[in-house]
A and B are shown apart, each in its own frame.
Chain A
Amino acid sequence: GIQVEQSPPDLILQEGANSTLRCNFSDSVNNLQWFHQNPWGQLINLFYIPSGTKQNGRLSATTVATERYSLLYISSSQTTDSGVYFCATYSGGYNKLIFGAGTRLAVHP
């Protein structure tokens, strides 16, 4: 099955800094989701982005499906951005998400 790899595994930022998180997948995909798991454990859907670029406030995401990767940009980071960021893709049907291992982000004031 498809493999999803995320980098870096851990990231520490000072408040106000920018960062880029990467997601690589082993095979071509036609869907890609980014999630934020907050410190309380809740999973929040950030983007559904099979290709191209989307922006939502300080966050934006770009997927280059032909090159099998997606990037999540966080600008002017805030302490509330802390948590774990996951990328995931449907595999074998639109109900089976395959997750990467996540990037753990800590933003310090």
Chain B
Amino acid sequence: NAGVTQTPKFQVLKTGQSMTLQCAQDMNHEYMSWYRQDPGMGLRLIHYSVGAGITDQGEVPNGYNVSRSTTEDFPLRLLSAAPSQTSVYFCASNDGGSGQPQHFGDGTRLSIL
């Protein structure tokens, strides 16, 4: 059982480039989320989804897009990378009901030059 899988693990981009961070889960979870973690801070929510075809903004959504065409996949797109988006990105999923903990992927470390 792979759980939540994120790719790539590391990426370096130049300012202005675009890219997609991939996230897949095999637990048939309804809910999926993207967070970013900056040095010395906890995680902050970027976007989330409560099911296929349904997405919404979190705390820090600017500069990012998401879509949810299947239950399993929830990609995060950086439209035009900026140095302020240098961070570690985590994808998470959970079952949606109360009392269900979130399960996290191993993260993607992204550097924008």
Interface residues of A (CB under 8 A from B): 4, 30-31, 33, 35, 41-43, 45, 48, 50, 86, 88, 93-102
The interface size bin for chain B is: 20 to 34
Q: With a CB–CB cut-off of 8 A, which chain A residues contact B100?
A: 48, 94
Interface contact B97-A94, CB-CB below 8 Å: yes
Q: Closest residue of chain A to B50, judged by CB?
A: A95
Q: With a CB–CB cut-off of 8 A, which chain A residues contact B33?
A: 95-97
> Do A45 and B90 form a contact, CB below 8 Å, given A94-B96, A95-B31?
no
Interface contact B101-A48, CB-CB below 8 Å: yes
- Most-contacted residue by chain B among A4, A42, A95, A96 (CB, 10 A): A95
Q: With a CB–CB cut-off of 8 A, which chain A residues contact B32?
A: 95
- Interface residue SS majority, chain B: strand
Interface contact B94-A99, CB-CB below 8 Å: no
> Do A43 and B97 form a contact, CB below 8 Å, given A95-B31, A101-B41?
no
Bits for B2-34, please: 1 = Cβ < 8 Å to A, else 0: 000000000000000000000000000001110
B43 at interface, CB cutoff 8 A: yes
Task: Please report the C-alpha to C-alpha distance between residue A41 and residue B36 in the assembled complex, in whole angstroms.
Answer: 12
Task: Please report the C-alpha to C-alpha distance between residue A4 and residue B41 in the assembled complex, in whole angstroms.
Answer: 12
> Do A41 and B102 form a contact, CB below 8 Å, given A95-B96, A99-B43, A101-B40?
no
Task: Please report the C-alpha to C-alpha distance between residue A31 and residue B94 in the assembled complex, in whole angstroms.
Answer: 14
Interface contact A31-B99, CB-CB below 8 Å: yes
Give min CB distance, B76 to chain A, whole Å. 15
Known contacts A31-B98, A86-B43, A97-B33; 5 additional CB pairs below 8 A are A30-B98, A48-B100, A94-B96, A97-B102, A102-B42
Q: Closest residue of chain A to B102, judged by CB?
A: A97
